[in-house]
Amino acid sequence: MSLKLYTGLALMILVVIFTLQNVEVVQVNFLIWDFSISRALMIFLVLSIGILIGWFTAKYSSVKSR
């Protein structure tokens, strides 16, 4: 297996451990919305959005450079 795969798996394990340690409910205020969500779910959502933005940015850059 490649180093990139091992690094990805290690980071995923660290994210899962971090998320499981932050399971309490938090109050989120965003613009006009006000809701409660578990901190673990909030961390997962923010991480997922960041990964998607990075992936789309990389795809756009590779298409633009061709």
The pLDDT tens digits of the residues spanning 4-63 come to 889 989 998 997 888 788 889 999 888 898 989 988 888 888 889 999 999 999 888 777
Alpha-carbon gap, residue 39 to 7, rounded angstroms: 25
The position carrying tokens 């923010």 is: 46
pLDDT at 65: 67
Whether the model clears a pTM of 0.75, i.e. scores above it, the answer is: no
Strand partners, 26: 37
Higher pLDDT, 1 or 42: 42
